[in-house]
Amino acid sequence: DYIKEKIIEIGRPKAEMVKDLLKKHGDDVIQDVTLGQVLTGMKGMVSLLTCTSKLDAEEGIRFRGYSIPQLQELLPKVKKEGEPLPEGLFYLMLTGELPTKEDVNQISEQWAQRSQGIPPHVFDVINALPKDAHPMIQFNTAILAMSTESQFRKAYLTGMDKKDYWGPTYEGVMDLISRLPVIAAYIYRRVFHNEQYIDIDPSHDWAANLAHMMGHDTEEVHRLMRLYMMIHADHEGGNVSAHATHLVGSALSNPYYSFSAGMNGLAGPLHGMANQNVMHWIHKMMREIGSENPTESQIKEYAEMTLKKGQVIPGYGHAVLRKTDPRFTVQLEFAKKYAPNAPLIQMVDKIYNVVPGLLTQTGKVKNPWPNVDAISGSLLSSFGITEYPIYTVLFGVSRSLGVLTQLIWDRLYGLPIERPKSQNLKWFVDKVNYQ
Ligand code: AMX
């Protein structure tokens, strides 16, 4: 596997640098921490080493330095006018270099092959759950059930050198990423399509295969799925799914345990579940207003009511971003190009016209602009994937690309167990001489 060779070549000197940096500058002060930061979710506190991507409050995500529009130009595609292949983004996050078409093909083939290895008990475990168990419960249960295959655990027990931990981690990560679309599609077909399952097509790329196995085997859904899988892949290290994966991984838990932790976090309504909740919010609004095509002033009134009830407007706001999320914008552009008359996209536009103003008026929301989830569900729905409880699962399949790549780097760097200090309320009170 030449990708593995490449990782050693790039990773070893970086790992040495981390050690040396620590030795020479371990006591240097890099930032002051305020009480406010600790009590509001550690926002802005630099406390993680993440190399796969970086989030700027104004311009949004960059993967290894490249913005989404740049990657749309630079990453290999199936067709010139199409969307980049997520395999290419994975390669970029893993190695820091832009892939060739050949690198991407090699990953597509490897993943199609590795996807065949899901042990039968994983499907038994899914089947043992009630069909109305939320798809994220089924997804995460399957991920944990797959950890029986962990190569890391076996290698650890045989007693390997720490320096080599990244190797079996890489194998586990490749297996896991390859198998997630199969699991996601299985759950989708089980819950929403009468258990009519569709086999993988090894000639397809990873994202197209997911669409194919879900039963949405058209070129336009392949294209949409590639876009979706690219933009949800990573959002630097501190978001709940990335941080949870890293944290649990720091105990040397295998990639399945680690990723499962991240997915439990993604299932929260303030994080990945927001994409489903946006659809829930829109449909409830249409029902309550009694129209599929409410006016902007009706939407405004409904949104005001949501705020009055002390609830959040899903799809808006962000812990880091302070402008419209470029992941929202790229989806809106895609929609305007390929589904300009879709009613749900027009609805997204109308909501976009009224909600930021309302959130600004509250005086407390730090970012009144839409995030990735404000449109992703409406876009999927407009292309026929209308069963919105599956949306967070699709987010999760994509998120594996970034957080599991970082897990390989955690092992390459030899990062230790994470263990921040906690204090009780009295300590904080005394520290600031609170009267
Ligand atoms: N609607 C109503 N109120 C909101 C809001 C929204 N969309 N976004 C933030 N607020 C409120 C907060 O609840 C908080 O209220 P409080 O002081 O009464 O507790 C106040 O504004 C300040 O919060 P903040 O500093 O602006 O946000 P945060 O960093 O604490 O939280 C986020 C960020 C995303 C959880 C929040 O904006 C939110 O709840 N948004 C809606 C859910 C959502 O879309 N989540 C998806 C985010 C992207 C992702 O991870 N997929």
Query: What percent of the chain stands above pLDDT 90?
Result: 98
pLDDT above 90 (res 264)? yes
Confidence band for 1, pLDDT divided at 50, 70 and 90: confident
pLDDT above 90 (res 277)? yes
The residue whose CB lies within 8 Å of the most ligand 1 atoms, and thus the one to mutate among 331, 348, 364, is 364
Q: Say yes or no: ipTM exceeds 0.95.
A: yes
Annotation says 373 is catalytic: yes
Minimum CA distance residue for ligand 1 atom 18: 364
The residue whose CB lies within 8 Å of the most ligand 1 atoms, and thus the one to mutate among 312, 321, 367, 399, is 312
- CATH 3.30.930.10 for domain 274-382: no
Per-residue H/E/C for the chain: CHHHHHHHHHHHHHHHHHHHHHHHHCCCCCCCCCHHHHHCCCCCCCCCCCCCEEEECCCEEEECCEEHHHHHHHCCECCCCCCECHHHHHHHHHHCCCCCHHHHHHHHHHHHHHHHHCCHHHHHHHHHCCCCCCHHHHHHHHHHHHHHHCHHHHHHHHCCCHHHCHHHHHHHHHHHHHHHHHHHHHHHHHHHCCCCCCCCCCCCCHHHHHHHHHCCCCHHHHHHHHHHHHHCCCCCCCCHHHHHHHHHHCCCCCHHHHHHHHHHHHCCCCCCCHHHHHHHHHHHHHHHHCCCCCCHHHHHHHHHHHHHCCCCCCCECCCCCCCCCHHHHHHHHHHHHHCCCCHHHHHHHHHHHHHHHHHHHHCCCCCCCECCHHHHHHHHHHCCCCCHHHHHHHHHHHHHHHHHHHHHHHHHHCCCCCCCCCCCHHHHHHHCCCC
CA 131 to ligand 1 center in whole angstroms: 31
Confidence band for 196, pLDDT divided at 50, 70 and 90: very high
* Ligand 1 touching residue 373 (CB < 6 A): yes
In Å, what is the CA distance from 77 to each residue of 150, 205, 226?
A: 32, 10, 10
Ligand 1 atom nearest to 319, measured from its CA: 29
CB 389 within 8 A of CB 269: no
| pLDDT score at 353 | 98
pTM: 0.98
pLDDT (mean) for 373-377: 98
CA 311 to ligand 1 center in whole angstroms: 10
pLDDT (mean) for 208-226: 97
Render pLDDT for 134-165 as a digit per residue (tens, 0 to 9). 999 999 999 999 999 999 989 999 999 999 99
Query: What percent of the chain stands above pLDDT 70?
Result: 100
Render pLDDT for 5-28 as a digit per residue (tens, 0 to 9). 999 999 999 999 999 999 999 999
| CA 427 – CA 181 distance, rounded (Å) | 47
CA 178 to ligand 1 center in whole angstroms: 33
CA 425 to ligand 1 center in whole angstroms: 24
Question: If 0-12 CB within 10 Å is exposed, 13-18 middle and 19+ buried, where does residue 45 land?
Answer: middle
| CA 368 – CA 317 distance, rounded (Å) | 5
Pairing, β 66-67 against β 60-63: antiparallel
| pLDDT score at 176 | 98
* Ligand 1 touching residue 152 (CB < 6 A): no
| CA 91 – CA 108 distance, rounded (Å) | 11
Render pLDDT for 64-98 as a digit per residue (tens, 0 to 9). 999 999 999 999 999 988 999 999 999 999 999 99
Specify the fold of 1-271+390-416. Answer: Citrate Synthase; domain 1 (1.10.580)
| CA 366 – CA 406 distance, rounded (Å) | 29
User: Could you tell me the maximum CA-CA distance found in the chain, to the nearest angstrom?
Assistant: 68
| pLDDT score at 378 | 98
Annotation says 318 is catalytic: yes
Confidence band for 369, pLDDT divided at 50, 70 and 90: very high
| pLDDT score at 94 | 98
| CA 392 – CA 377 distance, rounded (Å) | 9
How is the chain split into domains, by residue range? 1-271+390-416, 274-382
